[in-house]
Structure 1
Amino acid sequence: MLGFRDPVADAIGLLRPHTVIGPSLRAAGEWAVRFDPFLHVRIGGLVHGTCWLILEGHEPMLLREGDTFMLGNPPPYVLASTLDARPRPAEAVWVGAEDGFVRLGPESEEDLYLCVGHIAFDDRNAALLTDLLPPLVIVRVADPHGRQLAQLIDLLAIEVGVAAAGGPLVQNHLAQILLVHMLRAHAGQTDRPTGWLGALNEDGIGAALRAVHADVAHSWSLKELAEISHMSRSTFAHAFKSHVGVPPLEYLIQWRMSLARDALARDTLSISELARATGYLSESAFSTAFRRVVGTSPAQFRNQTRQSSPSTANEN
């Protein structure tokens, strides 16, 4: 049987996040660093000082001490002390990192301390999150979630700055906690559909989502889910689509297929076992649903994953 808990925990678990923290930036004087596009998510915050974040296609944003930002599959962007500073490529600057820090300008005059982390996901399910995120989310220190995020950034900065036992493990967990809090903040800032993020701030919809995740093999009906949410079927269907972006039973199918892709990639269950675990009465019904969502049969998907895995490549 597949294991399920909470919509957010389940989704992040399927993403198989891999975190790379730092190096952090300490800077003084006039400076600017340009970053190329990259996949998935970067999270950062200002421990001290101010700087400009200039994201292609967006108005420049001034970040102040305690502010936190999240970039989702972003286009090129620049961090800079002033808007007219000439940027240097980040790759060339980051090569000079020592003891977890990159320093620009005289160390004795440093007036900026920026802590950053990059979170990469398993490409098979990365869209579960990246499709929901705008290129830029900024949480100001004065916002409802701002102080908590600033404290997490401070803790992360402390871990980066000391060579303590278990440091990478602590950094990895702090970064994932930071990600969850940033997602909560984003869900509270937007009135657009936010997929499974809608479960974060909507009690009725959240109750239905938690029920689905707790028993994905159950043959859920719209009536049952509406009753769990204490709404009529029509009100629930409208509210669910408004917050999540797809109808309730379509969400159920998409979530089942996300779990199926992960299980097939890890080769943990046979196709018939996986069909039962995701709520299908027959392997053929499961295969039909899988092909509709994924575009290939379960067997083809599993074989393609085996052929592209590093271990297989090494054996060949």
Structure 2
Amino acid sequence: MLGFRDPVADAIGLLRPRTVIGPSLRATGDWALRFAPFPHVRIGGLVRGACWLVIEGHEPVFLREGDTFMLGNPPPYVLASTLDTGPRPAESAWASAEDGLVRIGPESEQDLYLCLGDIAFDDRNAALLTDLLPALVTVRATDPHGKPLGQLVDLLVTEIGVRAPGGPLVENHLAQILLVHMLRAHAAETDRPTGWLSALNEDGIGAALRAMHADVARSWKLKELADISHMSRSAFAASFKNHVGVPPLEYLIQWRMSLARDALARDSLSISELAQATGYLSESAFSTAFRRVVGSSPTQFRNQTRQPQHSAGNDD
């Protein structure tokens, strides 16, 4: 049986996040690094000092100590001490890393200290998040969400520094907790968060999303969802589409198919079991819905994408 909790946990579970904590950066003097595009998500926290973050096509952002940022499928970008310093490729600096640290300039108590981590997702479902994110989310240290994020970055830095047994596991979980807190901060500052990010807001739409995710196999009616949201059917339907981007029952179908793609790729359920788990009375009804959304039959999709369950990133 498929496991269901809430929209945020469900979506991140389907993303199958894999975390790589990159070398930390310690820098003094004038410096600038140009980073190549990175798929999915990069999260950074400024432990000490200040620097500029410049993304192509966006205004430069000045980061201060305690600030945290998240890049979603970013184009090339630059981290620099000043805007007039010519950047060099970050790859060359990263190649010089020793013991998880890249150093630019002489060691100093006043140097910049930046922690970076990359989070990659299962390509089949990566769009569940990356399509909803802007290129940059910044949370200032003075923001209400800034304190817990700063504490998480400090924990991550400490864990990297001690290199204790089980360290990679702890680092991976801390990075995923950082991701959730960054998404909460982003949703709180966005007037109309889209998709499942709407569930991060405590409102009627979030209540309906949580209900659908809690019982995805149920034959939901629009009135039932409207009642959960304490709205009339027409007001709920309009508000849901405005926030999430699609009508309520269409969202339910799309979510069911996201679950189905994941289960088929992992070969964890038969097609008949999957049809029942996602709320369809027959294999044919499920197959028709799957083909409409995905563009191929469940059998074709499974044969094309099936992976051994022991493959990397699929055991969590």
What SS class does the counterpart of residue 108 from structure 2 fall into?
helix
How far does residue 202 in structure 1 lie from its aligned partner after superposition? Answer: 3.2
In the alignment, does 2:256 pair up with 1:265? Answer: no
Using structure 2 for the length normalisation, give the TM-score: 0.95
Q: State the one-letter code of the partner of 1:4.
A: F
In structure 2, relative to structure 1, the CA distance for the partners of 1:260 and 1:235 (3 Å cut) is same
What SS class does the counterpart of residue 107 from structure 1 fall into?
coil
What SS class does the counterpart of residue 192 from structure 1 fall into?
coil
In the alignment, does 2:105 pair up with 1:105? Answer: yes
Q: For each residue in 1:25-54, what CA deviation from the matched residue of structure 2 results, as whole angstroms up to 9, or x when unmatched?
A: 000001111111110000001000000000
Matched residue, 1:293: 293
How far does residue 194 in structure 1 lie from its aligned partner after superposition? Answer: 1.8
Q: State the one-letter code of the partner of 1:107.
A: E
The size of the alignment, in residue pairs, is: 311
Spell out structure 1 runs of 4+ moving beyond 4 A. 307-311
In the alignment, does 2:195 pair up with 1:208? Answer: no
Structure-2 separation of matches of 1:141 and 1:104: 25
- Conserved? CA contact 1:217–1:277, under 8 Å: yes
Q: State the one-letter code of the partner of 2:189.
A: Q
Uncovered stretches (5+) of structure 2, i.e. residues with no partner: 312-316
- Conserved? CA contact 2:51–2:62, under 8 Å: yes
Q: State the one-letter code of the partner of 2:32.
A: A
Structure-2 separation of matches of 1:250 and 1:4: 19
- Conserved? CA contact 2:37–2:74, under 8 Å: yes
How far does residue 284 in structure 1 lie from its aligned partner after superposition? Answer: 1.1
In the alignment, does 2:89 pair up with 1:89? Answer: yes
Q: Indicate the percent of aligned positions where both proteins have the same amino acid.
A: 82
What SS class does the counterpart of residue 78 from structure 1 fall into?
strand
Deviates more, 1:189-198 or 1:293-302: 189-198
Using structure 1 for the length normalisation, give the TM-score: 0.95
How far does residue 58 in structure 1 lie from its aligned partner after superposition? Answer: 0.3
Matched residue, 1:128: 128
For the aligned residue pairs, the C-alpha RMSD in angstroms reads 1.5
Structure-2 separation of matches of 1:295 and 1:81: 48
How far does residue 307 in structure 1 lie from its aligned partner after superposition? Answer: 7.9
Q: State the one-letter code of the partner of 1:131.
A: D
Matched residue, 2:280: 280
Structure-1 separation of matches of 2:113 and 2:37: 23
Structure-2 separation of matches of 1:231 and 1:134: 30
Matched residue, 1:65: 65
Structure-2 separation of matches of 1:104 and 1:282: 62
Structure-1 separation of matches of 2:270 and 2:45: 44
Matched residue, 1:314: none
What SS class does the counterpart of residue 33 from structure 2 fall into?
strand
Structure-1 separation of matches of 2:228 and 2:309: 41
Structure-1 separation of matches of 2:59 and 2:210: 38
User: What pairs with 1:220-259 in structure 2 (closer than 5 Å)?
Assistant: 220-259=220-259
Deviates more, 1:237-246 or 1:67-76: 237-246
- Conserved? CA contact 1:195–1:243, under 8 Å: yes
- Conserved? CA contact 2:266–2:308, under 8 Å: no
